[in-house]
């Protein structure tokens, strides 16, 4: 799952994403920077509305119409994705860069059978590589090969009757089945970079395990780098090699995943404390006071300060600079758990 000497496959530098609303422009992602190494699995955690999904959509060039990148750069394999037009993005989207969407019901075409939707990713990839010059025989042979690949990945995802699933429409499948179909679409071409937005949220344990197992195999067998977005810290801890924690469009903490449950930012500590723990049976579940700020709120300091029990005046006035700890962690906090700057 990646190593310290691997090259960066993806670099995000100073990314600013803004949403237009009522003639105003507000920042939903505010100047974040991070990288994804080759063959690495990186996790991004945080509450809903913190900018995780918009970050992934910006990498794939799939931001909704009124949401735009207004600052920073996204570089993939030494090429700026932020400088590509739609035609150029289409040549790598789905083949080199693919995505598992959070809203799988909305992402699948209700009028097209599941197998055909998975196969389209393969067909399109072949068409881009070879053009329209293939003979009818070659096309039929390729079609048969693609169908067999689809059936194989469906079986790998736990479908005992892959042919039946191939011929089914999305409305004939459960939520967990649809999410597994989405995973198959994203993984079928062995992409260099896979963006997985909440790939196992609200799924039964079997579906969750099947999807995560497929992603792990993709990482090992194809050397794919994977960016996993999840609010579930335990999944990021078990599945990823590194993590980022986002809040209100900013990165709060980052580091190796094995240290995720030894957080140094008050927000990360609060997130970890809110996870149900069998050893604390009967004890009330910890909660984070207050609420996530709206993107319309103008915050000049640390966005978590209004909810933080350790916040001082300086926390409300300026966003803290990065502080590095001895365990390869980086935290943006004046008063981290290991001790911080004096006021």
Cα gap 93→77, rounded to integer Å: 14
Contact yes or no for 272/45 (Cβ under 8 A): no
Exposed e or buried b for every residue in 101-119, given b needs 16+ CB within 10 A? bbebeebbeeeebbbebbb
pLDDT of residue 24: 80
Per-residue pLDDT of the chain (343 residues; tens, 9 = 90+): 545 668 999 999 999 999 887 668 889 999 999 999 999 999 999 988 899 999 999 999 999 988 999 999 999 999 999 999 999 999 999 889 999 998 877 889 999 999 999 999 888 876 545 555 555 656 778 889 999 999 999 999 999 999 999 999 999 999 889 999 999 999 999 999 999 999 987 788 888 889 999 999 999 999 999 999 998 898 999 999 999 999 999 999 999 999 999 999 999 999 988 877 666 676 677 788 888 888 788 788 999 999 999 999 999 999 999 999 878 899 999 999 864 443 4
Q: Is the CATH code 3.40.50.300 the one for domain 1-86+94-104+192-343?
A: yes
What are the residue ranges spanned by the domains of the chain? 1-86+94-104+192-343
């Amino acid at each position: 799952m990646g190593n310290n000497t691997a090259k960066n496959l993806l670099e995000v530098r100073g990314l600013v994403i803004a949403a237009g609303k009522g003639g105003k422009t507000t920042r939903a992602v505010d100047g974040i920077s991070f990288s994804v190494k080759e063959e690495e699995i990186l996790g991004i955690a945080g509450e809903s509305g913190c900018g995780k999904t918009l970050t992934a959509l910006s990498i794939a060039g799939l931001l909704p119409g009124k949401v735009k990148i207004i600052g920073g750069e996204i570089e993939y394999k030494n090429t700026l994705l932020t400088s590509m037009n739609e035609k150029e993005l289409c040549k790598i989207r789905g083949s080199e860069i693919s995505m598992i969407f959070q809203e799988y019901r909305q992402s699948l075409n209700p009028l097209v059978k599941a197998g055909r939707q998975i196969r389209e990713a393969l067909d399109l990839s072949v068409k881009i590589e070879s053009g329209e010059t293939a003979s009818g025989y070659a096309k039929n042979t390729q079609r048969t090969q693609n169908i067999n690949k689809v059936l194989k990945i469906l079986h790998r995802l736990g479908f005992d009757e892959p042919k039946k699933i191939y011929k089914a429409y999305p409305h004939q499948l459960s939520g967990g089945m649809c999410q597994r179909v989405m995973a198959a679409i994203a993984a079928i071409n062995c992409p260099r970079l896979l963006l997985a937005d909440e790939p196992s949220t609200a799924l039964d344990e079997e579906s969750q395990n099947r999807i995560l197992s497929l992603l792990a195999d993709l990482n090992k067998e194809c050397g794919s780098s994977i960016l996993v977005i999840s609010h579930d810290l335990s999944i990021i801890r078990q599945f990823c090699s590194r993590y980022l924690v986002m809040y209100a469009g900013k990165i709060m903490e980052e580091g190796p995943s094995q240290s995720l449950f030894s957080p140094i930012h008050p927000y990360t500590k609060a997130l970890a404390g809110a996870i149900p723990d069998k050893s604390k049976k009967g004890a009330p579940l910890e909660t984070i006071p207050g609420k996530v700020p709206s993107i319309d709120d103008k915050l000049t300091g640390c966005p978590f300060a209004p909810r933080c029990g350790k916040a001082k005046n300086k926390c409300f006035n300026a966003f803290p600079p990065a502080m590095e700890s001895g365990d390869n962690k980086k935290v943006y906090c004046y008063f981290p758990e290991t001790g911080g700057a004096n006021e």
